[in-house]
Amino acid sequence: MNARPNDTPILRAEHFTKYLSGRKILDDCSISIYPGDVKVLIGPSGAGKSTFLQCINCLLEPDEGEIWLGDRKVDVRNTRELCELRQHVGMIFQDFNLFDHLSAEDNVALAPRKVRGMNKQEALKRAHAELRRVGLEDKARLYPAELSGGQKQRVAIARALAMDPTVLLLDEPTSALDPELVGEVLTVIRDLASHGMPMIMVTHQMEFAQAVATEILFMEQGRVIEQGSPDELLAPGSQTRTQDFCVRLHDLCGGEAAAQE
């Protein structure tokens, strides 16, 4: 990890530990996000990646550790501070989590109205701007049941962006999509990255991660065991645990693709 001694991270999680059902899921995990960072969490199933993201947004409260916004520690037991944290940290889930009874525009406008206090006209104007940003303004009046999986995920991204987040957390945003729909979501994420949106993303899309990540964190058994730039961790012959995992993942995906042909 490149040290930035003169900068304060915009968000940092320090020494997170989390137990679920008596089992340690996270073991002393830390991460710092600076402007423009795209940090990718990878590792085998059960490594704790999604739990780490949920603890950063306090959807799960860590049993140990601290979270900081800039130079201020957040008291996650204080309702006001917790709400402020969640306004700064947008969350994209793998299964979209849209409200089925609301149109795309109303899904995106809901939080600006309820949390930011925008009137309906202002919130819908903002919703259309964000739907335009993800290429879906023409689908604004459609309901989730009328959208493809890729379109639903892009609506979910627009919904998060409508709150002007400081950082986006993305938990395997393409894992619930058919293969032909993955590209449209990754294109939106790549565009956000190119415009400097700080992100922490769990993914198995390794070619994408290698192209956009400023840093990769490899997790195993609840710990971050390697971290560094893609060039450091994925260089041919680097013999890192990260590279070994990616080679195995590529071989597995290649085998599955061949079996389907």
> Would 17 be classed as within a structural domain?
yes
Residues ≥6 apart with Cβ < 8 Å to 3: none
Question: Which residue segment(s) compose the domain that 152 sits in?
Answer: 11-260
CA distance 185 to 150: 6
In a domain, 58, yes or no: yes
Residue 169 forms part of a structural domain: yes
pLDDT at 174: 92
pLDDT at residue 247, rounded to an integer: 81
Residue type at position 90: G
Bridge partners of 170? 92, 201
6 domain-assigned: no
Q: Which of 93-97, 160-164, 234-238 has the highest mean pLDDT?
A: 160-164
Please tell me the total count of domains within the chain. Answer: 1
**Would you state the pLDDT for residue 1?**
43
Output the pLDDT for position 89.
95
CATH number where 52 lies: 3.40.50.300
- 1 vs 76: which has the higher pLDDT: 76
What's the predicted TM-score (pTM) here?
A: 0.89
Range with lowest mean pLDDT among 4-18, 26-40, 89-103, 136-150: 4-18
Q: Among candidates 126, 200, 122, 196, which has minimal Cα distance to 161? A: 126
pLDDT in tens, 101-129: 999 999 999 999 999 999 999 999 999 99
125 in a domain, yes or no? yes
Q: Determine, yes or no, domain membership for 5.
A: no
In a domain, 177, yes or no: yes
Task: Classify residue 70: in a domain, yes or no.
Answer: yes
